[in-house]
Amino acid sequence: MTEEHMPAVVTITKVIDETPTIKTFVFDELFNIRPGQFCMVWVPGVDEIPMAFSAANAITVMKVGDATAALFTLKEGDKIGIRGPFGNGFFPTGKVLAIGGGIGVTPLFTLAAGGEVDTFILGARTAEELVFADELANVTDLKIATDDGTRGYHGFVTGILDQLDATEYDTICVCGPEMMMKGILDRLIARGIESRGQFSLHRYMKCGVGVCGSCCIDHEGLRVCRDGPVFTGDIIRNSEFAHHHRGPSGRKE
């Protein structure tokens, strides 16, 4: 068993309230990550869940269910387990466009913080739910979209994408709700540049290391944890992406 398969027990050194439903947990250990890689977070007594790194020593979490709600109760000095880093991460070349919606900004944030993103389209339902907007404005050309128009463009990130010439970019890195990513994939396919798209998928995971099969997205057994979580558009266009998820039993939902 290699080192990343063993959980490192880390101590939370800081908790940052990003939005009413999103918090960043900074811990006392730096992991050697590539942007877009994730870890399995062991929440003592509750569950182990996948989370992208939002920094070499941090995760940024949206409260959606049992494990994330339990994480939200933790404070400075509390301990969690981190297994990883896992997955391929983004592999950008040339001129890079990043598109992040909601909590999907997390894996893209490390890419932008490393100076690798030329243009960043950031979306959320309202201004209050935008994550990392100030930090991103310092490191990239930031364009903001909110569904309710409370900040930036009034509408979806795809509305801003339609105003740009996507063919000017060599790599288009994307993470967000699957229907948002589908809207972007459709636009890249229409321009014949879907292979330039790199999509980071959020799927149900149990093991995180390619053994259990719970994160498969096609009949060939393509696994989000081991073969992804980042896939190019030409790969996922023929997969279960944007059609259905699988739950804990493996059944399609």
Identify the residue among 7, 8, 19, 47 touching ligand FAD (CB under 6 A): 47
Which entry of ligand FAD, ligand FES, none binds 83, CB below 5 to 8 A by partner kind? none
Q: How big is the site for ligand FAD, counted in residues (CB under 6 A)?
A: 21
Tokens 């996948």: give the residue. 50
248, with CB counted inside 10 A (0-12, 13-18, 19+), is exposed
C-alpha to C-alpha distance for 99 and 132, rounded to whole angstroms: 13
Q: Which of ligand FAD, ligand FES, none does 223 bind, CB closer than 5 to 8 A by kind? A: ligand FES
50 part of the interface to ligand FAD, by CB under 6 A: yes
Give the per-residue contact string, 151-190, with ligand FES (x = CB under 6 A; - = no): ----------------------------------------
Token pair recorded at residue 32: 């050697």
216 is in an annotated binding site: no
Residue that has been written with the tokens 């997969």 in this structure: 239
Show the tokens assigned to 119.
């243009």
Closest approach of Cβ 55 to ligand FAD, in Å? Answer: 11
Q: Is 212 annotated as a binding residue?
A: yes
Q: Is 23 in the site for ligand FES (CB under 6 A)?
A: no
**Residue 206 binds to ligand FES (criterion: CB under 6 A):** yes
Residue type, position 62, single letter: M
Binding residue for ligand FAD, selected from 9, 30, 56, 64, defined by CB under 6 A: 64
Q: Please report whether residue 217 would count as binding ligand FES according to CB under 6 A.
A: no
Q: Closest Cα partner for 180 from 99, 244, 65, 96?
A: 99
Burial (CB count within 10 angstroms: exposed 0-12, middle 13-18, buried 19+), residue 123 = buried
For residue 85, say if its preceding peptide bond is cis, omega within 30 degrees of 0.
yes
Is residue 103 at the binding interface for ligand FAD, with CB under 6 A as the rule? yes
Q: For residue 131, which amino acid is it? A: V
Instruction: Tell me the closest approach of the beta carbon of residue 58 to ligand FES, in angstroms.
Output: 22
Which of ligand FES, ligand FAD, none does residue 62 bind (CB under 5 to 8 Å by kind)?
Answer: ligand FAD
Task: List the single partner that 202 binds among ligand FES, ligand FAD, none, CB under 5 to 8 Å by kind.
Answer: ligand FAD
| Residue among 16 and 46 whose Cβ is closer to ligand FES | 46
**Does 204 participate in binding ligand FAD (rule CB under 6 A)?**
yes
Stretch that binds ligand FAD, among 54-62, 108-116, 124-132, 136-144 (CB under 6 A): 54-62
Closest to 53 in 3D by CA, of 115, 123, 111, 121: 111
Beta strand residue intervals within the chain, DSSP E? 8-19, 22-27, 38-43, 47-55, 58-62, 79-86, 96-101, 119-124, 141-146, 153-154, 171-175, 197-200, 230-232
> In the complex, which residues of this chain contact ligand FAD (CB under 6 A)?
38, 47, 49-52, 60-62, 64-68, 103, 106, 202-205, 229
